[in-house]
Structure 1
Amino acid sequence: MKNAKPHALVSWIGNADLKAISSTEAEGQALGPIIATLKAQAFDSVELLYSYPEDQVKPYLAWLQEQVSISIHSHAISLSSPVNFGEIYVQANQQLSRLSAKGFKLSILLSPGTPAMQAVWILLGKTRYPCQFYQSSLEQGVKQVDIPFELSAEYLPAAKSIKSAKIRQLAEVGAPINAAFDNIVTRNPYMQSLKAQAQILAEHEVPVLIYGETGTGKELFARAIHNASRRANRPFVPINCGAIPTELVDSVLFGHKKGAFTGAISDKPGVFEQADGGTLFLDEFGELEPSVQVRLLRVLQEGVFVPVGSTREQKADVRLITATHRNLMEAVAKGNLREDLFYRVAVGVLHLPPLREREGDLVLLADSLVKAMSVRDSTLKHKKISSEAKNLILQHPWRGNVRELQSTLLRAALWCQGDDITAADIRQALFHLPEWNNDLMNKDVSKGIDIQGIIGEVVRHYIRKALQQSGQNKTRAAQLLGLKNYQTLNNWMEKYGVK
């Protein structure tokens, strides 16, 4: 046995592993998948990849070395995101290539890490580096996994050939800077009438209010209006009002002077000054607090504003386009939006329909988006959507509208094998959100119920909705939920396991 290859276990370090240090259990899965696997199977060494901060990982590595006698080798990996397939592929391939060149027998632990990390392990282990796969779970313990399919190395996904920076560019779903009305792809009669209305509005200097769900193309319309207007050669400045911390709204909108508050180390222009002579696009306009609405109204009425920390008025010549998914008339009725401000911004109004109501547009848009990807990167130039995949696309509700459709098609195009994007590729790329249980108030108490579980289900549902509504702004989400502050929200999120 002296000539036997040394056996190495390769794994990402996951959150459950890092929590192992504080575990009160002496044995088993409470100590995390990595150590559970090392105790259950014999290896000569373990190779660990991690993208967590050093101060979290170093104590874990020291603790792990105390638990096992084999060699532990750790590798800090820089990732822009734990779900960036391109970066994960490059890093994982580099580590497996190095170990393979040294003559190691390889085993990969799939359990720790994100689904993207697990997918890349399977891809590499089934095409380039023969290995054994292991999984470790609380319910089933440590098991060797048989993955019952083969991949051809000749048909490795496009993600392998595309650089990470290019994948990030392809994933950007914002409207192009030079957006024109021709970029709005539709054959739907209502959408065509909206394009005609928007073209008329572009010729005038009136404020425009755009209604629509998230991902329906509000910024695309706003940029097309700007680019077709007399202000086309001047700045277009977009800002998401729902993502601005409450305490910084005045500074973001109107700018500030050096020393105006802690951290104001220099003068900084606000978006009104940046957009002077051009167009200011206020997305999620309905999120602005009433106190800010007063100052915004003055700018629109008089064309002047005062930066934070200044006493001198500045002028701003700005064409305003606002967008929201909220019912602003209802907000006016409830006193959450000033009526005079509403009528100031709602001169030209466009109601963008959700994708599910744009009859005849879904397949047309899907083909157009794939074609746009192929233009932006030659690796994707032959990709096309199969008939079966198009039927599956037509069946999906697309709650995230065009944005969700584009993201799904990109995932499918990057990982499909060959040029045809199949129904299986689309199915794998889709995120299936669980349906909200509308029967929570009608459970049969006589058979016993889990009241704490029901409360937790309700809390998790509405916390996620509030975070989505606020653009992940915890202060605003706490307000929407009637909680005192973001720290209270943090406590609830921790208690009920909301990430």
Structure 2
Amino acid sequence: MVASKQNVLVCWIGGNDLKAITGEEPGPILSTLRSTVFDSVELLCSYSVERLDPFLAWLRSQTDLPVRAHYEHLSSPVHFGDIYQAANRHLLRLTQSGAQLSLLLSPGTPAMQAVWILLGKTRYPAEFYQSSLEQGVQRIDIPFEIAAEYVPAANAISSTKLTRLAGRDVPVYAAFDSILTQSPRMLLLKAQAQVLSQKQVPVLIYGETGTGKELFARAIHNAGDRSANAFVAVNCGAIAPELIDSTLFGHKKGAFTGAMESRAGVFEQANGGTLFLDEFGELTPDVQVRLLRVLQEGTLTPVGTSQEIKVNVRLITATHRNLMQEVSQRRFREDLFYRIAVGVLHLPPLREREGDLLLLVDALLADIARQDTNFGGKKISAEAKNLILRDPWRGNVRELQSTLLRAALWSQGDMISASDIEQALFKMPSADSDVMSLDVSQGIDLNEIISEIAAHYIRRALTVTGQNKTRAANLLGLKSQQTLSNWMDKYGID
């Protein structure tokens, strides 16, 4: 009798998995293990050992399966070369052992997802899974095959260029001209940001993930008096709780276990320049207290010493959270909120930036081609553009760029078709996408729901028709252009 192959789940460990140990949500990895039968788990991780070990101990307590973790040093979580080398090495090892591969795409960066798909569709045949709060765990079919002659072309693309393409890091010298838009709302925000760049007041930038908060922050810094000094960016949500004080304020040698040398915190690193604290709303109340003191007094005390250090930084913060609501619910300090929210910019999601979607598509494709000649000459068909216009783009510009890169990688000719775009899209609807299944017992705001639906489809109709009100009214089943104008006034649409 021939023994059956061992079904092995392979994936990167993601941020939502690390958060699962708090008990709020199980995270993609545990959710997948609970819903599907596997024989063992192989995990890749680029986080620090301090963050990895508690998660692994917790995960092993939740499952009887063998869980093996492999730490991989990545120069960047979007570095294609490093990610490819790590993923290829482990898939080769598992394939040679006779394992049946199952790849979980959800955890990790878009670059990690792209590498899994390319390897799983070419060298190491695998089943693909994804896990989301909205749709649970699903085995997904990726209905295309990569032609054999394509693989050498993909290998010819340099890792450095693919890293820039996949990560689309904000350029160091980003200026307001780097913010492409023809949306009146965005043009007004650019003008307001230019005014703020000439002031030294703190700036708070609101916006969903992928809306360009860091791009605005860098443009403000580069246009201001501090442009010759440092711009230091920190993602507050990615800092381990036990390291937050050390990261922000620095520490002295021997201040805690593992502190082998003294290190300056980000406030000291940004002295004379700009400190950008992204995901600012993730800071816990106790950290908020210590941060407020630094902002009020301009001094900080590194961990492990009583000596105060004076700092002079221009603070720019960003968050996707509604901090006013957080203040009202006592999860965010009111005094700190008013200290940071002097200049406020509220960046709209891509779906609300009238006329910008196809402008960004052309610009992003041109940028991809400019960075690597393997993508030169790629055009996008009218059908593909229509498909792009119909997508809600919950991940905003970041999701759009990642989708276009995948479509460019997979398309076999110079023309990116609608099927290329459809295959490149990850269908992960948001939790509020099904308005027909809201829990009425918990109370709902019917007027707000109607307003959101009406505003959403009015904007979509105007985009599809090139802002032609008569045609948009016809698409929406409204009697006339005047009726549409009345609806636009009612729901505050420019």
Which residue, 170, 174, 177 being the options, matches 2:172? 177
Alignment of 1:80-479 (within 5 A): 87=84, 112-113=102-103, 120=119, 122-123=121-122, 158-434=153-429, 436=431, 439=437
Secondary structure of 1:14's partner?
strand
Secondary structure of 2:318's partner?
strand
Distance (whole Å) between structure 2 residues aligned to residue 411 and residue 293 of structure 1: 40
Distance (whole Å) between structure 1 residues aligned to residue 208 and residue 127 of structure 2: 40
Larger radius of gyration: 1
Secondary structure of 1:230's partner?
coil
Distance (whole Å) between structure 2 residues aligned to residue 134 and residue 210 of structure 1: 42
Which residue, 2, 15, 36 being the options, matches 2:9? 15
Distance (whole Å) between structure 1 residues aligned to residue 238 and residue 119 of structure 2: 33
Shift in alpha-carbon separation, 1:424–1:263, aligned structure 2, 3 A: same
Distance (whole Å) between structure 2 residues aligned to residue 148 and residue 181 of structure 1: 40
Q: Which amino acid aligns with 2:437?
A: D
Provide the alpha-carbon RMSD of the alignment. Answer: 4.1
Q: CA deviation at 1:176?
A: 1.0
Shift in alpha-carbon separation, 1:390–1:88, aligned structure 2, 3 A: farther
Q: CA deviation at 1:208?
A: 0.6
Shift in alpha-carbon separation, 1:13–1:110, aligned structure 2, 3 A: closer
Q: CA deviation at 1:192?
A: 0.4
Q: CA deviation at 1:123?
A: 4.7
Q: CA deviation at 1:174?
A: 2.7
Question: TM-score when scaled to structure 2?
Answer: 0.63
Q: What percent identity do the matched residue pairs reach?
A: 57
Distance (whole Å) between structure 1 residues aligned to residue 287 and residue 346 of structure 2: 25
Distance (whole Å) between structure 1 residues aligned to residue 287 and residue 126 of structure 2: 56
Structure 2 contact 79–163 (Cα < 8 Å) conserved: no
Deviations 1:116-174 (A, max 9, x none): 6565465579xxxxxxx8999xxxxxxxxxx9998765556852321334322321133
Shift in alpha-carbon separation, 1:415–1:134, aligned structure 2, 3 A: closer
Shift in alpha-carbon separation, 1:255–1:156, aligned structure 2, 3 A: closer
Deviations 1:348-390 (A, max 9, x none): 1101000110010001111111111112212112222221111
Shift in alpha-carbon separation, 1:299–1:389, aligned structure 2, 3 A: same
Secondary structure of 1:15's partner?
strand
Q: CA deviation at 1:427?
A: 0.7
Q: Which segment is superposed worse, 331-340 or 351-360?
A: 331-340
Secondary structure of 2:345's partner?
strand
Q: Which amino acid aligns with 2:178?
A: N
Structure 2 contact 380–415 (Cα < 8 Å) conserved: yes
Q: Residue 456 of structure 2 corresponds to which residue in structure 1?
A: none
Which blocks of at least 5 consecutive residues in structure 1 are unaligned?
Answer: 1-10, 17-28, 34-49, 54-75, 96-107, 126-132, 137-146, 444-499
Distance (whole Å) between structure 2 residues aligned to residue 408 and residue 439 of structure 1: 29
Which blocks of at least 5 consecutive residues in structure 2 are unaligned?
Answer: 11-35, 46-69, 93-97, 106-114, 129-141, 442-494
Structure 2 contact 186–353 (Cα < 8 Å) conserved: yes
Superposition misfits of 4+ residues, deviation over 4 angstroms: 29-33, 50-53, 78-86, 88-92, 108-125, 133-136, 147-158, 434-438, 440-443
Structure 2 contact 365–404 (Cα < 8 Å) conserved: yes
